[in-house]
Amino acid sequence: MLGLPPDLKACRCHRHRPLQSAGMAPTSSLQLILPPSAAGTLPNHSPEMLFGSSPEPETLAVPPWFQYLDYIYLNAGIMPNPHISFKAFISGLFSRKAVHMLSTAEGLLHQEDKVTVDGMQEVFETNLFGHFVLVRQLEPLLCCSEKPSLLIWTSSANARRCAFSLDDYQHKKGKEAYSSSKYATDLTSLALNRHFNKQNLYSSVVCPGIVTTNLTYGIMPCFIWKLLMPILWLIRLVTKTYTLTPHNGSEAHIWLFKQKPESLNGLMKYHSCTTFGGNNYVDPRKMDVDDETAKKLYQKLLELEKQLLARTNGPISTK
């Protein structure tokens, strides 16, 4: 959905309504809010769904009256077939790293990834690469001298350097594809800032915290999460990232919308936090990333994009 009223700038839209039916007039400004099924998740939709099915597709067929984009929330993500390592949980629970383990799920979650019809790893393609291609195709509307634009990526506290490798950036060989893809997201955001800040495009990363959604219901059934809720509330005494509800988890997303993009620190991840009493706030934390790794990953993503667009006859950016 490309046009929405001003009061719907920081949400995930689950319904598609034509611009005309919303009673909206053309405008030079655009808040782009992507539904889960249109956020560049190439494994679930063929590349033709992203670029159009005509032999010479226009860049996402964006209506010509849109001159620039203000914000894009890049939020789609999957964690297929997650398994909890109870051995690691028990071991970590009685160690000095218990709080860290509870707040990041480090070493606890393993996933069974698979290869998509595009020949890529599903988690990588869904959580990162589809978004990357989308951003690249929207560069003409994002890199605008009139006013700054902001990309807001949903990352995770589970994003860990040790789960990621440049030699295996799609995570074909490991069992922590989700952690790897989220760390790659952090690196990509940094690289985009280095490349495009001078063109008025900025990128920030948020962590919604531990939220009970369909993603976490894949780890344990919904009723178990509900039974554990009193314990999860108590954990807030030692770590404030147990936001638990989507409303609380979106605190950082809303907060970023209210900031000036140029004032944000591209090395920070903005965490949604909730106190034991239920008050929400944003906690900026420095990411464990470096420019050299970010630069190398960015080049690999560019090459992969070129290969994909060559196969789908999509428009190739020269930037």
93 pLDDT tier (thresholds 50, 70, 90): low
What does DSSP assign to residue 197? G
Average pLDDT over residues 102-117: 78
Give residue 311's pLDDT.
82
Q: What is the tens place of the pLDDT at every residue in 162-194?
A: 999 999 999 999 889 999 999 999 999 999 999
Of 79-88, 237-246, 279-288, the least confident? 79-88
Asked if 177 contacts 278 with a C-beta cutoff of 8 angstroms, the reply is: no
Examine the pLDDT at 14 and tell me if it is beyond 50: no
Average pLDDT over residues 147-175: 93
Measured CA distances, 220 to 83, 84, 103, 281 (Å): 9, 9, 17, 27
Average pLDDT over residues 39-49: 39
Q: What is the tens place of the pLDDT at every residue in 225-239?
A: 788 888 888 888 888
Asked if 116 contacts 35 with a C-beta cutoff of 8 angstroms, the reply is: no
Phi–psi pair at 204, nearest 5 degrees: -135, 155
> How far is it, in rounded angstroms, from Cα 72 to Cα 287?
21
Annotated catalytic residue 178: yes
Q: How far apart are the first and last CA of the chain?
A: 26
Give residue 237's pLDDT.
85
Average pLDDT over residues 198-212: 93
| Of 68, 71, 169, 178, catalytic | 178
Phi–psi pair at 181, nearest 5 degrees: -65, -35
Q: Is 121 helix (H, G, I), strand (E, B) or coil?
A: strand
Give residue 238's pLDDT.
83
Most confident by average pLDDT, 97-111, 136-150, 272-286: 272-286
Q: Which residues contact 243 (CB under 8 A, 6 or more apart)?
A: 208, 209, 210, 211, 249, 251, 272, 273, 274, 280
Examine the pLDDT at 85 and tell me if it is beyond 60: yes
Examine the pLDDT at 74 and tell me if it is beyond 90: yes
pTM: 0.78
pLDDT higher for 13 or 300? 300
Give residue 94's pLDDT.
64
